[in-house]
Amino acid sequence: MSVRVFRKTGSAVLVVLIAASVLFPLAWMAIAGFKGRSEVLRTPFQFFPEMWRWNNYSAILRDHQFMRAMAVTFIGALIFTVLSLAVNSMAAYAFARLDFRGKRFWWVYCVMPMFIPMMAILLTSFVVVSKLGMLNTMAVLIIPGVASAAQMFFLRQYYLGYPVAVEEAALIDGASRWQIFLRVFLPQSAAPFVVVGLASYLAYWNAYVWPILTITDPSLTQIMQFLGNFRSDRGNDWGMLMAGSTLASIPTIVLLLVFQRFIVNGVRISGIK
Amino acid sequence: MALLESAHEGQPPAGAGTEPGRRTRSGRRASAPRRQDNVTAYLMIAPMVILLGIFVMWPLVYSVYLSTFKISFYKAPQFVGAQFYQYVLESSDFWHSIWIGLYYALLVVPTGIVIALLLASFIKTLSGRVAAFMKVTIYLPAVVSTVIASVLFTFMYQDEGVVNWFLSLVNHAPVAWLNSPRWALPAIAVPGIWLGFGITTLILLAALLDIPESYYESAKLDGAGFFQRLWYITIPLLKNVLLYLVVTGFTLAVQMLDLPLIMTNGGPVGATSTPNYYIFNSFRDLTPYATSYSLTASLLLFAVLGTISIVIFRLIKSDKAVDG
């Protein structure tokens, strides 16, 4: 009995300790946003501010550049997510279920990009998009990353495991492959779509290198570009930068909390383990 | 022909999927699952194939092509063959950056996996609700962007920052983390681990849950402690997952770009100049032939990386063979 109680409190203490140390940097970031300019970095150290000030948060919320970057990135991320779900799931269905000439070749072609390091194509991708006249447009942020080998592969694995019987019945009833895809497969795809869609959303929202290469127009500045260049653009206003970073992490954290069950199980769907 | 067929495909139920030729050949029942759907299939993969073609395959081919030319703003491109390859391979900066990349991976990957394995074993012992809370908590840093982590940790590493405050608790003098050639790389490895260990933990947890509980029970009966069970049961059974994690973790870590780009700009004195940072920086550099040089370096990195992953893969595999 006493051993069990001891164990239970032990693991409870451990849970709290682990959670606290993992979350410490994020909490610290959010709290630093409430500190005054002279208070942010100072010895002796204080965890909480002497006075909770809202001026960093209100200043960044009134900052046009910041709000614009948040809005532009959010819209871009939504379009990006929808497009990549459409493109990748369609190809995934074709590779999982259809039989066609040259299938093996196109399969290798579509999966190979998983093994190409980003750097090997980053520089010439830049040359390609600038020749296509795509620099400083939303299109350059959205279109090049839409087709994703890894996501297509993930969806295909999922579709392979989907029972064939339903599909055969629909085929005998005379449904076309498109109808089967749209009416049978898509409605069943919620779980993998959440996992893959979230990955797309995060990839877009968190992108930094591609935007700093292709976007110089301030009205299209992406949120991570804004934060990453904050110190060189505006100096070491740490309080405001931490407030901005906190606000910019909220959308992704909220998404994680809303879809937590899908994500935690996503590992199982993927069949990596 | 193609047009005709696609029109055929578009027809409502009755016509769809019964291409006359095939039906006479093999009969309706057999043809339903096995028939070919060339037009539909090609329409479905077309967007993906075209996008990958323009934004992945073409840039790759173009890189290889351009790396054999001397490109400058003033003169017409001049074919130089493999000259840049030789130039890059002889450059000590390139090899230095590879070394930094390997060192960074060595700091991040094993630590990340050990932490993840311990956490996963611990979470496994928790009850449903607490385990769910832990999983989400641990995953949280993974959705935070690398840029935000960079900014945040730069802030924490300032002279008067929170990390130095912890040091002062143990009476240690403050360290100029990001400005010291010795500490800069370990300092940027910490956010690297923090960002990545959540996913690793979830993957390992999923694998752990597949190990039959009876193995552990009989080990416990034989008096094996936690670490003995971990060493003799868990790790051997997780070998494939661990292999996957080491190889993917390694290739990702060597390619780290955002952290040094934002936190240190590759400095001090090149101490955090990872391969991708080095290439990216030489591309932005306006010295003549920088484009060809950085393109060549990126292709060579691709080759070096591939080789190293194969070596790791082989090493662990052969180890496994010895173990039986």
Residue type, position B144, single letter? V
Location of structure tokens 């790790």: B235
B198 in Cβ contact with B113 (< 8 Å): no
Q: Is the pLDDT confidence value at B8 over 70? A: no
What average pLDDT does the structure give for chain A?
88
Percentage, residues of chain A above pLDDT 90: 49
Q: Is the pLDDT confidence value at B53 over 90? A: yes
Q: What Å distances lie between residue A76 and A80, B117, B183, CA to CA?
A: 6, 37, 38
B27, burial (CB in 10 Å: exposed 0-12, middle 13-18, buried 19+): exposed
- Looking at residue B32, its pLDDT comes to 46
Largest CA-CA distance found in chain B, in angstroms, rounded? 88
Residue B163 per-residue DSSP state: H
Residues of chain A with Cβ-Cβ distance to B51 below 8 Å are: 87, 143-144, 146-147
Most confident residue range from A57-66, A166-175, B232-241, B262-271: A57-66
Q: Which residues pair with B155 in a beta bridge?
A: none
- Looking at residue A224, its pLDDT comes to 94
Confidence category of residue B316, pLDDT binned at 50, 70, 90: low
Q: Is the pLDDT confidence value at B2 over 50? A: no
Mean pLDDT of B197-217: 88
- Looking at residue A209, its pLDDT comes to 92
A176 in Cβ contact with B40 (< 8 Å): yes
Tokens (6 digits) for A221: 């500045």
Structural domains of chain A, ranges and CATH numbers in brackets: 64-228 (1.10.3720.10)
Summarize pLDDT for A124-182 with one digit per residue, the tens.
899 899 999 999 999 999 999 999 998 999 899 888 888 888 888 888 888 888 999 99
Residues of chain A with Cβ-Cβ distance to B133 below 8 Å are: 15, 19
Confidence category of residue B25, pLDDT binned at 50, 70, 90: very low
Q: Is the pLDDT confidence value at B202 over 70? A: yes
How many angstroms separate the CA of residue B143 from the nearest CA in chain A?
A: 6
Confidence category of residue B11, pLDDT binned at 50, 70, 90: very low
State the Cα–Cα distance between residues A208 and A225, nearest whole angstrom.
6
B253 in Cβ contact with B192 (< 8 Å): yes
- Looking at residue B74, its pLDDT comes to 66
Confidence category of residue B320, pLDDT binned at 50, 70, 90: very low
Question: In B265-302, which positions are buried (b, 16+ CB within 10 angstroms) versus exposed (e)?
Answer: ebebebbbbbbbbbbbbbbeeeeebbbbbbbbbbbbbb
Q: Indicate yes or no: CB of A117 within 8 angstroms of CB of B40.
A: no
B264, burial (CB in 10 Å: exposed 0-12, middle 13-18, buried 19+): buried
Confidence category of residue B6, pLDDT binned at 50, 70, 90: very low
- Looking at residue A211, its pLDDT comes to 94
- Looking at residue B159, its pLDDT comes to 84
- Go through chain B and tell me how many residues it has: 324
Say if A104 is an interface residue toward chain B (CB within 8 Å).
no
Which of B9, B50, B51 to substitute to test the interface with A, most A CBs within 10 Å? B51
State the Cα–Cα distance between residues B186 and B163, nearest whole angstrom.
13
Q: What is the DSSP pairing of strand B69-70 with strand B78-79?
A: antiparallel
Percentage, residues of chain B above pLDDT 70: 84
State the Cα–Cα distance between residues B300 and B94, nearest whole angstrom.
10
Closest listed residue to residue B138, CA positions, set B190, B187, B193:
B193
Confidence category of residue A18, pLDDT binned at 50, 70, 90: very high
Helix (H) or strand (E) holding B78: strand B78-79
Q: Which residues pair with B69 in a beta bridge?
A: B79
Q: Which residues pair with B251 in a beta bridge?
A: none
Summarize pLDDT for B58-97 with one digit per residue, the tens.
999 998 888 888 776 666 777 877 788 888 888 888 899 9
What average pLDDT does the structure give for chain B?
81
Say if A116 is an interface residue toward chain B (CB within 8 Å).
yes
Instruction: Map residue B79 onto helix, strand or coil.
Output: strand
Confidence category of residue B28, pLDDT binned at 50, 70, 90: very low
Most confident residue range from A185-189, A194-198, B164-168, B188-192: B188-192
Q: What Å distances lie between residue B139 and A17, A118, A252, B132, B195, CA to CA?
A: 16, 24, 12, 11, 9
Q: In terms of CATH, what superfamily is B86-323? A: MetI-like (1.10.3720.10)
Q: Indicate yes or no: CB of B33 within 8 angstroms of CB of A260.
A: no
Closest listed residue to residue B40, CA positions, set A95, A210, A267, A221:
A95
A1, burial (CB in 10 Å: exposed 0-12, middle 13-18, buried 19+): exposed
- Looking at residue B227, its pLDDT comes to 85
- Looking at residue B34, its pLDDT comes to 55
Summarize pLDDT for A83-121 with one digit per residue, the tens.
999 999 999 999 999 999 999 999 999 988 888 888 888
ipTM of the complex: 0.89
Confidence category of residue B225, pLDDT binned at 50, 70, 90: confident
Say if A147 is an interface residue toward chain B (CB within 8 Å).
yes
Residues of chain A with Cβ-Cβ distance to B126 below 8 Å are: 11, 15
Closest listed residue to residue A266, CA positions, set A214, A209, A195, A208:
A195
Q: Is the pLDDT confidence value at B24 over 70? A: no
A215 in Cβ contact with A225 (< 8 Å): yes
Tokens (6 digits) for A165: 């019987």
Residue type, position B209, single letter? L
- Looking at residue B27, its pLDDT comes to 40
CB atoms within 10 A of CB A86: 13
For chain B, the domains span: 2-66, 86-323
Contacts of residue B138, Cβ cutoff 8 Å, sequence gap at least 6? A18, A22, B119, B123, B197, B198, B201, B202
Q: What is the C-alpha radius of gyration for chain B, rounded to an integer number of angstroms?
A: 27
Closest listed residue to residue A152, CA positions, set B203, B244, B45:
B45
B224 in Cβ contact with B139 (< 8 Å): no
Residue type, position B56, single letter? V
B104 in Cβ contact with B192 (< 8 Å): yes
Q: What's the N-to-C CA distance of chain B in angstroms? A: 57
- Looking at residue B21, its pLDDT comes to 39
Most confident residue range from B70-79, B242-251, B309-318: B242-251
A224 in Cβ contact with A212 (< 8 Å): no
Q: What's the N-to-C CA distance of chain A in angstroms? A: 36
